[in-house]
Chain A
């Protein structure tokens, strides 16, 4: 009904030459959750919270001409006190039926669900697996080129993106210059395979980390240079597999994020998710594994004067411990399609911290997803 109203409002507006044809779409996720103990998982604790993952978004797009369109997406996240942010703003140019060029701020299409990460309605989870998707460089400024075509029954999609990102993370700031990314995807009826490779020049600044590194620099500048994430090359790779027979599906992704010359551990993350579609119900189970606790820099350390080594090792281990994570999450989710654009979901997750058993916790959530 609402859609019909909007459609007729649009028809009205567009018969007038004053207004361009503006399409308004939106989505919302209202999510609440709490943990079973004092431990915090994804910001939730043992009293119910609705603000950790809830969000509301509006998107407006309009055609400039037959080939060009402009899109703006504004988003208010509960975790930011629903302050409105321009999440995306870009111009798209349809080069041909198969090729689209985009310029502006957009989602870096790293992993399978990156593009629609905020649109809870579009997937079966309450939130896409955090171990893979919770990365500090989801949005980028720059250019993007997308190609899609069919070769017989095979759907082929290629993508390339080039630009920069700048995000707040871990109480600090991460910047990526000269970021580029290449992706390839092939689909055949029930099968879909995806691969991605990306690289960036990363800089990370955070008060405590910077203080530690500048202390190291006073005695061992070379080692400090190794430790610091200062225009260091970082890379990410991802592989995705999707088998979807409609009545049942299995989805899996593996990702690796690495900044070689730094204190930060290489992150290896994967998940497997399987579910059934039974009419309006979609029950599923998901298992996530995240390993990012390897102690780096021991070779570089051994090249330092022996007298300095104990102190430097302390700094190295301190930095590593601050960023090391190793955990698994097992989740059972139930989705119910209430209407063609509203879904209800509940899930329960068991978070197992392999570095500190005291952090283990169980999280229960519900979600209402809406799109229009």
Chain B
């Protein structure tokens, strides 16, 4: 409940700045079943496999971008610093790798075009036919 309120407040805050409606995207050929929970688990390194058994290539946008802030707050439900802290724990115990980091929506789309197992997020306004939106509601 608290989280919903703070998410809503943040929403208000961001709408006055640069509002980003972030959508999670994968390769159109990716047939894995994905939900909000499985997306969270993949981006926090808690699972290392899609429902299809394939290994995801996780793509993050650079910290501080509207997309990253929005994704971390609303989909992962924590601050970017907290996400980095959880990932650092996995990386420095040999049980995870840092997600690939890119600087723009078009780089996310390019990587997803090249790699069938890639998963990322972009602003809805950048959507193209090269990627498929994951329905996480």
Contacts and interface: CB of A to CB of B under 8 A. Distances in A.
A-B interaction: yes
Nearest to A21: B97
A90 B88 CA distance: 18
A188 B81 CA distance: 21
A167 interface: no
A146 B77 CA distance: 27
Interface residues of A, number: 45
A280 to B, nearest CB: 7
Interface string B57-84: 0000011100000000000011111101
B91 interface: yes
A246 B101 CA distance: 25
A4 B62 contact: yes
A371 interface: yes
A100 interface: yes
A279 B82 CA distance: 11
B84 A245 contact: no
A102 B85 CA distance: 23
B46 A119 contact: no
A371 B101 contact: no
B89 A122 contact: yes
A97 B85 CA distance: 22
Contacts of A3: 62, 98, 101
B84 A71 contact: no
A269 interface: no
A155 interface: yes
A71 B88 CA distance: 15
Contacts of A88: 94
B40 to A, nearest CB: 11
A245 B2 contact: yes
B88 A115 contact: no
Nearest to A157: B46
B34 to A, nearest CB: 14
A184 B11 CA distance: 38
A340 B81 contact: yes
A107 interface: yes
A119 B88 contact: yes
A123 B85 contact: yes
Contacts of B89: 115-116, 119, 122
A122 B47 CA distance: 19
B100 A7 contact: yes
A277 B100 CA distance: 27
Contact of A280 (B46, B81, B88): B81
B103 A4 contact: yes
Contacts of B85: 121-123
B15 interface: no
- Which residue among B49, B89, B92, B93 has the maximum number of chain A CB atoms within 10 Å of its CB? B92
Nearest to A113: B89
Contacts of A118: 92
B44 to A, nearest CB: 10
B93 A107 contact: yes
Nearest to B49: A97
Nearest to A116: B89
Contacts of B94: 61, 69, 71, 88, 90, 92, 102, 106
Contacts of A247: 2-3, 6
Given A97-B49, A148-B46, A337-B79, A121 B93 contact: no
B13 to A, nearest CB: 11
A343 B6 contact: no
B95 A343 contact: no
Contacts of A299: none
Interface of B: 2-3, 6, 37, 41, 46-49, 53, 62-64, 77-82, 84-86, 88-89, 91-95, 97-98, 100-103
6 nearest A-B residue pairs (beta carbon): A340-B63, A337-B81, A97-B49, A115-B93, A116-B89, A71-B94
Given A27-B88, A153-B37, 12 more contacts: A4-B62, A7-B100, A71-B94, A97-B53, A119-B89, A119-B92, A122-B85, A146-B95, A277-B82, A279-B79, A280-B81, A337-B79
8 contacts: A3-B101, A25-B91, A59-B92, A116-B92, A119-B89, A121-B88, A246-B77, A340-B84
Interface of A: 3-4, 7, 23, 25, 27, 59, 61, 69, 71, 73, 88, 90, 92, 94, 97, 100, 102, 106-107, 109, 115-116, 118-119, 121-123, 146, 148, 150, 153, 155, 245-247, 277, 279-280, 337, 339-341, 343, 371
